[in-house]
A and B are shown apart, each in its own frame.
Chain A
Amino acid sequence: MPYDPNEPLKDRITDIGPRYYQDFLPPVVKNNRGKWLYHEIIEPGVLVHVSETGDEVYTIRCGGARLLSIEFLREICDIADKHCDGFMRFTTRNNIEFMVDKKEKVKPLLDDLKSRKFAAGSNKFPVGGTGAGVTNIVHTQGWVHCHTPAIDASGVVKAVMDGLFEDFGKMRLPAQVRVSLACCLNMCGAVHCSDIAILGIHRKPPMVDHEWIDRVCELPLAIAACPTAAIKPAKTAEGLKTLDINYDRCMFCGNCFTMCAAMPLADDVGSGIAILVGGKISNRKSAPKFSKVVIPFIPNEPPRWETTVKAVKNIVDVYAKGAKKYERIGEWAERIGWERFFEKTGIPFSHHLIDDYRFAYTTWRTSTQFKF
């Protein structure tokens, strides 16, 4: 029976959760689950996993835009039906993976993937994103779909990945470089532990929509939302209840706007990009690390974000030249010292980069071990 708008709760099914993942595994994966012995990267973007049963699965990893149309998803299905027994997967970093169970199936699949282009010429399925290189950028919604962003997301990612494209398909770096983008401090993309993070920030305090604020917001919630206690109750000349902002205390986190729509803070010149580097997730060698702010602000430059692309490429190139094998960006910066990081990358150091928030002191140098 189809949905009946007159009886919306009839035959209702709820709380059934997601589909069981094992229903979606390709046969070679299902048969060898938990039996894998080792893997190798045969060429950039192509992996083989070998099982104790002797079976092999070949994975071809392709970059994806994350924002995908259903027409494009159907094309993915066509490819998976043609080459991969009707199965495929996505990675945590929005890559598209096609798997085959025989080596001789790899080349026809690769040829097929490499032949597919969008009408204007960009690759539909660029192969790469493995090993000591740059893989896909995880990112957020930006101007495509979000109300709090300081920057766009999809467009910045497209421009930066065009700039890093060679390193997506090559494995010439000392270690993997994970680039992430979050379009505001809420960080639904959680970029705070990435090798390179592109972060949308605001630089102007919120505007208060005095005429409306008391009608659309719970004023005490907006006041309580401010971590620096910069917001206090006030009255307009006409006697309307409103809020007053102590501009000197505002650190532009946007938490008040999250609580109250009548306090917008995005601005065409006020908002833009900060670059953070040196974070990592993995426990490999050194413990997971936070990313650190090294460029406090780059203006929004749609459509191609030239300064941001250049800044990211510069960091990757200087790191590629200077780091030792297996060294992540953060490990390299710590070994040479952050003063050297700024010297080698040519990035100017300014007061914006010194922490003055909750855990500030933990980042100050309390030794004489510095370099000239």
Chain B
Amino acid sequence: MAKHKTPMLDELEKGPWPSFVSDIKHQAEKGKQAVKDAPDDLLGILELSYADRVTHWKHGGIVGVFGYGGGVIGRYCDQPEMFPGVAHFHTIRVNQPASKFYSTEFLRGLCNLWEKYGSGLTNMHGSTGDIILLGTTTDNLEPLFYDLTHELNQDLGGSGSNLRTPSCCVGKSRCEWACYDSEECCHEMTMEFQDELHRPAFPYKFKFKFDACPNGCVASIARADMSVIGTWKDDIRIDQGAVAAYVGGELKPNGGAHAGKDWGKFDIVKEVISQCPTECMWMDGKKLMINNKECNRCMHCINVMPRALRIGTDTGASVLFGAKAPILEGAQMSTLTVPFMPMEPPYEELKELIGKVWDWWMEEGKNRERLGELIQRESWQKFLEVIEMEPDPRMMREPRSNPYIFWREEEVEGGWTRDITEFRKKHQR
């Protein structure tokens, strides 16, 4: 028998999409979780929110494990007498493996651990990428961390004003478009910056995300303070035989992504050549031609004809900085900073770059100021000075339209010290 009546939540058991309510009910009924009443009481308090149309969770308290300043988020409900199973309901962030492949051995180990020390409820995964263990009491934190590290050889993720758990796309493991090894780079950068990840010393959060191509499956350009996006410098590889097969209809465009509707016969001019944003493609008889020098590597033609067109072989990544959601100055996307960086382990160039960025941000950033906001406040020119890079037209959408240039004194002949008396000798008052 369910502990609480949940008539409103029961409505969310209907319909074809997987019902989280059904799942929590199943855990409440069958599960052997340490915090026995957590699933039942979570449904109870959620039902109360459904009736009241506001949340019943309080501002987090400071909880954690010894030596770490992040990885655990304190959470308490505001009706502990009614719902004792979720009175203390702290979240634990566990650093997911790059690209989120799992062995069942590891997953079962994680389930056993969370059965022993928590609510039996998880998020696979949180928005930043972590495995989220949803809800336990303070006394379970240290033993859980001990078993997590000793038995599963696994560490916590980030929270608070620190490096947040980095994440990446599926990359070379299962994608033909990976321009660099986003998984290896994500793992290596996570390992390199363990101290920054576990011990908050930043003005605010900092996120790394690694997309292996410009399609951007992990959305780094919108949500990472440092977005590393794969690209290439040489020519798109063309298999003219496969081009002919697309034109002839033997191969389905876009890997069959449009199969649910009849869009008519594939038309390479309409669907590929005239959609090219730089107009750098044309047909020479039956041959597809590309002026690669003018290509901006948007991926459209490659996405439409994956068996005919492949990314180049001189590959690496573009590095961009400054993305964030709207809080506080408005949403920002990352700005192109390093057009091309070779990306080979151990990624020394990238590590050196991030070191310069952090030194500046930690010195100049205000409390809760994201990197993108600091760059806006100080200027792109200042940022380039800090990272010791020369300005490049690729960094800007267009040159400035106002002429309010902050000339530096050393750029102007004779500097700024002038003699008004000399001036007056020629110009009466």
Contacts and interface: CB of A to CB of B under 8 A. Distances in A.
Interface of A: 2-3, 5, 8-9, 11-21, 23-26, 29, 33-34, 36-44, 47, 49, 57, 59, 63-74, 76-77, 80-81, 86-92, 94, 96, 99, 118-126, 130-133, 138-149, 152, 154-155, 158-159, 161-162, 165, 168, 170-173, 176, 182, 185-193, 221, 224-225, 227, 253, 255, 258, 261, 266-269, 271, 279, 281-286, 288, 290, 300, 302-304, 325-326, 357-359
Contacts of A133: 260
Given A77-B108, A118-B19, A225-B368, A90 B124 contact: yes
A67 B260 contact: no
Nearest to A154: B20
B327 interface: yes
A68 B122 contact: yes
A162 B98 contact: no
Interface stretch (B10-18, B286-294, B348-356, B420-428): B10-18
Contact of A39 (B19, B100, B255, B330): B255
A20 B11 contact: no
B293 to A, nearest CB: 18
Contacts of B328: 227, 253, 255
A118 B23 contact: yes
A149 B325 CA distance: 15
A95 to B, nearest CB: 10
Contacts of B200: none
A40 B101 CA distance: 21
Given A70-B33, A146-B55, A190 B325 contact: yes
Interface stretch (B187-195, B382-390, B404-412): B187-195
Contact of B107 (A73, A176, A258, A288): A73
B147 interface: yes
A83 B214 CA distance: 33
Contacts of A59: 174
Nearest to B166: A18
A200 B31 CA distance: 33
B26 A302 contact: no
Contacts of B333: 193, 288, 290
Given A34-B172, A36-B176, A266-B55, A326 B275 contact: yes
A223 B216 CA distance: 38
A63 B20 CA distance: 12
Contact of A73 (B18, B24, B124, B194): B124
A3 to B, nearest CB: 4
B215 A69 contact: no
A67 B172 contact: no
Nearest to B151: A2
Nearest to A36: B176
Nearest to A92: B218
A170 B368 contact: no
Contact of B12 (A73, A124, A159, A193): A159
A21 B261 contact: no
Interface string B102-113: 111111101100
A96 B219 CA distance: 19
A73 B111 CA distance: 7
Pairs of residues from A and B, 6 with the lowest C-beta to C-beta distance, nearest first: A131-B257, A162-B15, A187-B325, A69-B27, A118-B22, A120-B13
Nearest to B31: A71
Nearest to B216: A281
B135 interface: yes
B115 interface: yes
29 contacts: A18-B96, A18-B154, A19-B106, A21-B97, A21-B187, A40-B306, A72-B27, A86-B105, A88-B107, A90-B125, A118-B13, A122-B19, A131-B260, A140-B127, A158-B15, A159-B12, A159-B15, A185-B326, A189-B127, A227-B328, A227-B329, A271-B54, A282-B215, A282-B216, A283-B214, A284-B299, A285-B275, A288-B333, A358-B329
A192 to B, nearest CB: 4
Contact of B195 (A15, A37, A65): A15
B19 A120 contact: yes
Given A89-B101, A126-B18, A325-B263, 16 more contacts: A17-B155, A19-B106, A37-B176, A66-B20, A69-B26, A73-B111, A94-B125, A143-B49, A145-B91, A145-B134, A165-B15, A171-B257, A190-B223, A279-B222, A303-B12, A358-B329
A359 B372 CA distance: 15
A300 to B, nearest CB: 5
B55 A13 contact: no
Contact of A92 (B143, B154, B167, B178): B167
A67 B111 contact: no
A2 B151 CA distance: 10
B59 A147 contact: yes
Contacts of B175: 36, 39, 49
Given A18-B96, A120-B22, A145-B89, A284 B222 contact: no
Interface string B27-70: 10011010000010010001001111111111110000011100
Nearest to A163: B15
Contacts of B20: 65-68, 154, 158
B16 A152 contact: no
A64 B124 contact: yes
A40 B120 contact: no
Contacts of A269: 53
Contacts of A168: 17
B97 A24 contact: yes
A217 to B, nearest CB: 10
Given A92-B219, A145-B134, A187-B325, A69 B24 contact: yes
B121 interface: yes
Contact of A326 (B8, B49, B173, B300): B300
A149 to B, nearest CB: 5
B360 interface: no
Contacts of A122: 13-19, 22
Contacts of A303: 8-9, 11-12, 50
Interface string B251-283: 010111111110100000001000101000000
Given A14-B68, A69-B31, A171 B259 contact: yes
Given A29-B173, A303-B11, A63 B17 contact: yes
Given A69-B39, A90-B100, A34 B255 contact: no
A147 B8 contact: no
A34 B181 contact: yes
Given A20-B187, A24-B97, A190-B127, A71 B12 contact: no
Given A11-B150, A15-B155, A69-B120, A41 B327 contact: no
A11 B150 CA distance: 9
Given A187-B327, A358-B329, A165 B16 contact: yes
